[in-house]
Chain A
Amino acid sequence: MSHISILMENQPGALSRVVGLFSQRGYNIDSLSVAPTNDSSLSRLTMVVKEEESIISQILKQLNKVIDVVEVQNLSDIESVSLEIAIVKLKITEKEAKKIIESAFPVVGEIINHKDAFVMIKLIGSNHEVDDFLLSLNKQKFLEVTRSGLLGMGTGENFLISESETTIEY
């Protein structure tokens, strides 16, 4: 498994070029998250790819070739932190929900909505922790889940930022 972070132009079609590359070359994306950054001309995309090392190396090369891709970083190759956010909807009482949250450690949970007979809980943790927690839920009462995909960032001086623009003349 590799956790890859990409900085790309915030342009129409840029995301489809990156995602298209995966289907075109037969690679599978396990999770994907994308949003603009503090620089509105750039989007940051974080993905988890479950492929063997030689294929990951090929994926990184092919990603670098996409013209809209500015920088690529393999978070699995450096020291990095990662987390995932999930929202689950359960058919339980608020009291039951509180109990579940207490038992969720190391996943951090919080009730974010309670309407009719349904409770929504926000969960934050590593993706394995979130996986384990979701597995532990009572299937009959477990109605819906949405997950952010694994977010991540290199620690310390492992930056993923855009270098200044290159000027090309010919």
Chain B
Amino acid sequence: MKKESGGSALIRALADENVDLLFGYPGGAALHIYDAIYQQDKVQHILVRHEQAAVHAADGYARATGKVGTVLVTSGPGATNAITGIATAYMDSIPLVVISGQVASHLIGTDAFQETDMMGISRPIVKHSFLIQSPEEIPEVVKKAFIIAKTGKPGPVVIDVPKDMTDPNHLFDYQYPKDIKMRSYSAPSEEEESNVDEAVSLLEKAKKPVLYAGGGIIQGNASEELKKLAKIMNAPVTNTLMGLGAFPATHENFIGMLGMHGTYEANMAMHEADLIFALGSRFDDRTTNNPKKYSLNAKKIHLDCDYGSIEKIINVDVSLNGDAKKILNQILNKIDPKNIDKASIDLWNNEILNWRETHGLNHDLLDKKFHQKQILPQQVIQSLYKSTNGKAFITSDVGQHQMFAAQYYKFDEPRKWINSGGLGTMGFGLPSAMGVKFAFPDEDVVCVTGEGSIQMCIQELSTCMQYGLPVKIINLNNRALGMVKQWQDMQYGGRYSSILYEDSLPDFVKLAESYGHVGMKVEDISELEERMDECISMKDKLVFMDVYVDPDEHVYPMLEAGGNMSEMRVSKTKKTF
């Protein structure tokens, strides 16, 4: 049995967890660990340019693959820089293991150089955390961390490692545990038959059902089961921002994303439904509008692996707590197609189609280049959709471009849409695209961003150069912080407080070129599609496509604050209430 030090045991334990990529940034407290990395070749370390990007990259990797993303940072500023990334993953329930160096045990609490209380600082934004107290416990802690991160409602787990715990001179026998004992933790499983029966009975009685599916269906790998249920019932399906791809966007039962910037028909359907079946979605405030006015006539069923998410915001008639795939299979085994009110549901689907015809999204904007001066941001997404045949991984930052991508790129598969839905972290797009590209080098990986967001992690262009990562960056450049501007237009009388920086934007083409990448600038709608094809076809190059779009465009529909799900603005001049 080869003896290991704490540092080498840590890396060996990662290899035993089949970790192939470790995103990180070295520093004093992590140096023993970095030396251990140097002396092996199973775990490849990816050097980013800022710790926030390391976490986002691991996060993108985790979202795209379904595996646990792994991060290594040093103590103090390394740890605090990772915090935004950890909070991002926590809000979207993404499985990560984040290893942070810490000052040596005897220095903890002395305000030592680069000391910060990582356990304390990360506590509200982790699923769990460990402080290593002896080198010998490292393999077991790593095993626990991975199990906790990926089972149940996934989430980030921090392992804080004081430097003396990784001392290369302290050697011990290494054994990676096959199983571990945790008396306080068990993963969710099936639901009791009686609750399933109640749910099935409501589903069979429904005349106006909506299946409202979120990220839990993607995390729980339950898309196939959802498709089967939708087919049996012929029920309309809406996805949350986090759930896009859980149900195919080109499927005839799909009625688009719901919520703040959801489609008119999806929000109307939520308001008029007589049954809402929430599947792996959590009645987030962006999808309910005012909870007191929320879908008052609908019975509600809530399936979630997190018992704490059930009845947190909206009271439900039936709760199904457990694994989405298992519980959906329980339902599929029990539901009797003969009992479903097909005639009523047909009428319901027609009603929804009528709504779509009134105020639905126009997916053919590219066909209408009516003497346009400016490129519409929606047209860029439609052009991207065409050029990638709808098959690309799309990561996004946060703002108008994110909503346009969510609305107009039709995701047919889970794990293809990678965005910071819960925390809304600007700067997420480029590093998460790197993580996806590492996992899927032969697939198209596109970061849809804005000139505001991209500058929050733009240093990662250097990482992309180092590792030769040919991601595509589509920059919807409206020369302003567009979503804030939209709110200032709508609610603050057009007083543009601190959102303008047109005179100080970099030349993104030259900036990309300075890192050895390809830069493109597109200002004319007539050349958009051709340049987009050209951009996507450059398989071996990172292309930064800077697209000047109409700075006055708003995202619609938009739910009216404080209202119900049917109260929307559908354009600058039209509203439904």
| Partner-binding segment picked from B173-181, B250-258, B401-409 | B173-181
* Secondary structure call for the A interface: mixed
Contact of A13 (CB < 8 Å), options: B119, B187, B312: B119
Contact of B311 (CB < 8 Å), options: A17, A54, A67: A54
Beta-carbon contacts of B183-195 to A below 8 Å, as 1s and 0s? 1111100000000
Apart from A168-B186, A169-B178, what 13 extra A-B contacts exist at CB < 8 Å? A17-B123, A61-B312, A62-B308, A64-B308, A67-B127, A67-B148, A67-B184, A163-B183, A164-B183, A165-B182, A166-B182, A168-B185, A170-B151
**How many Å from the CB of B530 to the closest CB on chain A?**
50
B299 on the interface (CB 8 Å rule)? no
Q: Once the chains are docked, how many angstroms separate the CA of A12 from the CA of B185?
A: 18
A-side contacts of B147, CB under 8 Å? 168, 170
The reply to whether A20 and B185 form a contact with Cβ atoms under 8 Å apart is: no
The reply to whether A20 and B184 form a contact with Cβ atoms under 8 Å apart is: no
A80 on the interface (CB 8 Å rule)? no
Within 8 A of B (CB), among A50-97: 54, 57-58, 61-62, 64-65, 67-70
Q: Once the chains are docked, how many angstroms separate the CA of A61 from the CA of B321?
A: 12
Contact of A65 (CB < 8 Å), options: B120, B124, B306, B311: B306
Instruction: Output the residue of A9, A13, A20 with the most chain B CB within 10 A.
Output: A13
The reply to whether B148 and A70 form a contact with Cβ atoms under 8 Å apart is: no
A-side contacts of B182, CB under 8 Å? 67, 165-166, 168
Contact of A61 (CB < 8 Å), options: B119, B186, B307: B307
The reply to whether B131 and A165 form a contact with Cβ atoms under 8 Å apart is: no
B382 on the interface (CB 8 Å rule)? no
| B: number of interface residues (CB 8 Å) | 28
A162 on the interface (CB 8 Å rule)? yes
Contact of B183 (CB < 8 Å), options: A20, A162, A170: A162
Can you name the residue of chain A whose Cβ is closest to the Cβ of B178? Answer: A169
The 3 closest A-B pairs by CB, nearest first: A169-B179, A61-B308, A165-B183
| Category for how many chain A residues contact B | 20 to 34
B67 on the interface (CB 8 Å rule)? no
B128 on the interface (CB 8 Å rule)? yes
B-side contacts of A68, CB under 8 Å? 128, 184
Q: Once the chains are docked, how many angstroms separate the CA of A36 from the CA of B124?
A: 24
The reply to whether B120 and A16 form a contact with Cβ atoms under 8 Å apart is: yes
A-side contacts of B308, CB under 8 Å? 58, 61-62, 64-65
Q: Once the chains are docked, how many angstroms separate the CA of A164 from the CA of B119?
A: 28
Beta-carbon contacts of B122-136 to A below 8 Å, as 1s and 0s? 011001110101000
Q: Once the chains are docked, how many angstroms separate the CA of A64 from the CA of B133?
A: 25
Within 8 A of B (CB), among A14-37: 16-17, 20, 24
B-side contacts of A64, CB under 8 Å? 307-308
The reply to whether A70 and B184 form a contact with Cβ atoms under 8 Å apart is: yes
Beta-carbon contacts of B99-131 to A below 8 Å, as 1s and 0s? 000000000000000000001100110011101
B-side contacts of A164, CB under 8 Å? 183
A167 on the interface (CB 8 Å rule)? yes
Q: Once the chains are docked, how many angstroms separate the CA of A57 from the CA of B185?
A: 20
A-side contacts of B307, CB under 8 Å? 61, 64-65
B-side contacts of A17, CB under 8 Å? 123
Beta-carbon contacts of A141-170 to B below 8 Å, as 1s and 0s? 000000000000000000000111111111
B-side contacts of A58, CB under 8 Å? 308, 311-312
Q: Once the chains are docked, how many angstroms separate the CA of A40 from the CA of B69?
A: 35
A16-B123, A61-B307 given as contacts; is B184 within 8 A of A168 (CB)?
no
Beta-carbon contacts of B325-343 to A below 8 Å, as 1s and 0s? 0000000000000000000
The reply to whether A168 and B123 form a contact with Cβ atoms under 8 Å apart is: no
The reply to whether B186 and A166 form a contact with Cβ atoms under 8 Å apart is: yes
The reply to whether B179 and A168 form a contact with Cβ atoms under 8 Å apart is: yes
A20-B123, A61-B308 given as contacts; is B128 within 8 A of A168 (CB)?
no
**How many Å from the CB of B300 to the closest CB on chain A?**
15
The reply to whether A9 and B184 form a contact with Cβ atoms under 8 Å apart is: yes
Q: Once the chains are docked, how many angstroms separate the CA of A58 from the CA of B282?
A: 14
Instruction: Output the residue of A8, A12, A17 with the most chain B CB within 10 A.
Output: A17
Can you name the residue of chain B whose Cβ is closest to the Cβ of A12? Answer: B131
Q: Once the chains are docked, how many angstroms separate the CA of A64 from the CA of B221?
A: 25
Q: Once the chains are docked, how many angstroms separate the CA of A20 from the CA of B125?
A: 11
B-side contacts of A69, CB under 8 Å? 184
B-side contacts of A65, CB under 8 Å? 306-308
**How many Å from the CB of B302 to the closest CB on chain A?**
13
B-side contacts of A16, CB under 8 Å? 120, 123
Q: Once the chains are docked, how many angstroms separate the CA of A64 from the CA of B184?
A: 9
In the complex, 9 of the A-B residue pairs with CB atoms within 8 angstroms, ordered by the A residue number, are A62-B308, A65-B306, A65-B308, A67-B185, A69-B184, A166-B186, A167-B181, A168-B185, A170-B147
The reply to whether B185 and A24 form a contact with Cβ atoms under 8 Å apart is: no
**How many Å from the CB of B159 to the closest CB on chain A?**
13
**How many Å from the CB of B392 to the closest CB on chain A?**
32
Contact of A165 (CB < 8 Å), options: B133, B151, B181, B310: B181
B-side contacts of A168, CB under 8 Å? 147, 151, 179-182, 185-187
Within 8 A of A (CB), among B265-317: 306-308, 310-312
The reply to whether A57 and B311 form a contact with Cβ atoms under 8 Å apart is: yes
